[in-house]
Every structure is written in C-alpha cells, then in structure tokens.
Structure 1
Amino acid sequence: MLRRRPARSASADDLLSTLGRLTAQAREGAEKQRARVELAEALQREMLPAALPGVPGLRAAATYAPARHGLDIGGDWYDGFRLPDGSLAFCIGDVQGHDVEAAAFMGQIRFGLRAVAGHAADPGEVLSRANDLLVSVDCGLFATCTFVRFDQAAWELSSARAGHVPGIWATTDGRSGLADDPGGLPLGIMPGESYPVSHHRFATAGAFVLLTDGVVEGPSFPIEAGLTQVTRLVSANADRDPATVADAAISVAEFTGHTDDSAVLALRFDAVPPEAG
C-alpha cells in the first residue's frame, strides 16, 4: 500500500522570502496604479478650461469633483468658448471608462468640438460632425455630451444632446424644470447620427445648468431623485451668482453614493434686454 508523503513544511526563511516577493509585487502594482491616476489627474487639470466666457447679462461658472476613491478620474469635462460669429458655446460631457485613456479621449473630444464649432455654429451639426470624426478614429470609447450655443442678439440658447443627462432651468419668479429635449446617441457609436436642436429664450432672469450623471445618480440612488434634488437647489439659488448655483448643484453628489467624478456648468442670465425683445 502506497502512502502519500506528508507535505514539506515551509521554513520561516521560505515564508519570509515569499512574503517579501508578494509585497514587492503589490507595491509595484500600487505604484503603477498611482502613477496612472496621477497622470490622469494631470491630464484632467490641463484640459479643463481655466476660465469661461461671458457677456453682459450672462455669466458662467463650473465646478468639478474628482472620483471619491481616486481611481475613476478622467471621464467628465466641460468647456466654454467664443464662436467666430460672436456667440458663445458651452458644452459638458462624460466619457465611457476612466483612467488615462478616458482622460486622453476627453481631450480629443473637447478640442474636436472646438474645431468643428468654428465652422458649424448649429449645435446639432456640431455634434453630428464630431460624432463622425470620433467614429472614424475607432478608439473603442464613446461619450455623452450636451452642446449649447448662446446667441446674444436673440438672447436665445440653442442646445443639442448626445445621450446626455438633461439640463435644468430655473427662473427668479419660482418656475423650474428639466430641459429634457430630444437627443441622439452618444458620440462615437454610429456614423451619420443626427441631433435635434431645441431653442430656449429667456424672458425672465434665472439659471440654466448642465451636469454629468455623477451628480445625480448612484448605485441605489435613482437619477430621477437626483434630478429632482438638483432642480430644487437650482431654483432656490436662481437669483445668485453662477458659482453659487454650480456649487449648490454639485452638492447633491455627496448623497448619491456615486464613486464617479462629476461636473456642473451653470449659466446665470438676466431677463431679455430691451434691445433683444
């Protein structure tokens, strides 16, 4: 009868050697991950605009909150710039995925939108051209986005959405709601996609807020509840400066349990000027 030989007991030196090797591997992995996070954070900081444009009667402000655990950085962005015809463009978006690749893709989208908008002021056309550009790159990522154009002469905001969270509006006379306008697919999925354009004209002073889903949605927090909370806060602060409106809106992210990064872009507008009416 054959008997199984008892397993050889590992010596203390063997155990310490193994523990040391595993510790070194873990440290190396942690350092690589930390380096990737730091690189993504640096890309994020450099690619977000230092300032947003404005005109008399319309001011803009934005705020960004990094991921809670430092690993989901790089997905959200916002931007604002002047167009060749004198109007203002603002956009906000969220890239699928995170880390360095998402941060780099976010930069491509942001600068791609700027380039396209220089030749096509219509928000729907801007998103359509940007979408075709991203599809042609075929990088395997996609992004949601809202692009708006403010026409100072008409005192009108035109907007188009690519699979993004609806905007929120509130006026100083107590009215508020969602700008849940029709939209198209996220950018980078299907070529030839069209994006309907909606128009909003402001007869009363107030605020218009764009945000990412990290503000309003969490694992056990439905997006409808988050949008309701943000709408209430935007309405309560509609007569204040845009930075205060943006800070009030992004505070909802503290209650959703979302670990993603989040961004808010707030436009604070006066009533329609007499010359525009």
Structure 2
Amino acid sequence: MDNALFSRRRAERFAQLLDEANGGRRHHVRSRVDDQLTPLVGLGRRLGANPPEPEVDPEFRTGLRAMLLATAARDGIGAPAPAEKANNNRGALLPAVTARRARARGAVLVGIAAGAIAVSGISAASENAVPGDALYGMKRSTERAQLALASSEISRGQLFLDFARTRLTEASALRGNRSGYGAVLDDMDADTQQGVRLLTAAAAQRSDAAALDSVDAFLIRQRRALDALADNGSRADRERTTQSLALLASVTERADALRAAIGCGQPVGSASDGLGPIPATCP
C-alpha cells in the first residue's frame, strides 16, 4: 500500500472534496491529487447514501447483551475514574500545539471507536435500550460519535431528525412512566429543533429548498406516530404528547414559509429563532 496516499495533505484534500460532495462549502482550489481522490469521493457518497446494514445473528446479539449487562452490573458504567495526580509543572508548560494534536488524536479516536462499536455489534446490542437500561449510555455515545463524523451541516441535521425518531420509539416503550416519558419527549423535541435549525439554515444559505425535503419526510412519519401515542396512555402522557405535536405544527409552518420565500426569490434575512431562519413574506 502506498503510504503517501494517506499523507496529511492528501487526507485533508479528501476531506474537503467529500464535504463539497455532501453540500458543504466549496473550496476554490485544485490539487494534483484530485483525479486520484475523485473515485474515493464517489465511493464515500455511495456508502453514505446506502450504508451497508450488516446482519447480526440473534444469538450473538442476545449473548452480547447479556454479557454487557453483567459487566455493567459488576463494574458499573460511567463511574468516575480515580483522579490521577496532577503534574502542575508539565501542565503549565504544555504548548498550544500539543493541545491541538491532542484534539486531533481525540477526533481520530472517536472515529475508531465509532467504527469499532459498529463492527463489534455493541451498537446492535444497545439499539433497543431505553432510559434506565444499562446500555442506554452506550446507545447515546454512539449517536454522539455519528454526529462528530458527519461530513456537513445537512448530514448533521438529518442525523438529529433520525435521533428524534429514535426518541419517539423509546417514548412509546415508556408510556405510563410519567417522568421517563416526558424526559424522552423533551430530548426528542430538542433533537427535532436541532435538526430543523440546521436544515433550514442550509436551505436559506443556498437559496435551495432541497434541504427541506428531509424535514417534510420527517414530519409525515413523526406526526403519524405521535398521533398514535396521543390516542392512548394517561391524561398526563396525552398532554405531553400534545406539546410535541404543537412543535411539529410550528416546524410545518416554518418549512412552508421558507420554501415559499425561496420560491419567490425573497431574501431570508438574518433573523432566526429555535427553528432557524425566519423568512420574509412574499409580496
């Protein structure tokens, strides 16, 4: 294998090309290695659009989950590690470049950890975990790793909407648990707002409503599932579900208004709120 292919300069250029291919900011430069990297960018886009879905053997999933739960019960998950003795002299002399290298190594480790989680099947074992389960922290850590590896703001926005759907699935398993149900819907609404804000900002910045298609698809499925929850459960659960439905109604209005503003060429302006840019009304 040619080690030069993975030099820092080529890796940085590959990251730029991949970001541009996913709707990110264009870098008006041309490199001698672009012809070599173009096939890899195409492969990356195809993998991003249709990620492989490895089939996990049910017996392996069950056995791994039992092993992880036993380990969590024995050793604990998320327990603070013993404080190490600080070396004040060395810490005071740590240059900024060392800190940057540490952050870079941390980003690489996040990617390696995310890949290891997916390959080993731990994410498969934790995918059905709900708040209160020992593996729920692992599930949320996997989501944070996915966000860290997202190649563009549009990808991050779509991930947040995917997480909102996951929170809704968790909420359906917690009906009757008043505090747990409400807390999961709070997280769901936060993920919804984050995703919508990123996607509406991308649409306004590019004057292109294509980014809103993900929002529309999300609204259809999410509203249908929330309506089903609103028809069942305790009175407190139904009232809390109504709040989330109201948020979806606000998202619908914002997406429609932004799409109309882009369609008539109306500038969006700089004003924004929790759902992103506030479009002006078409004349």
TM-score (norm 2): 0.24
Q: Which has the higher strand share?
A: 1
TM-score (norm 1): 0.25
- Give the greater-gyration-radius structure (CA): 1
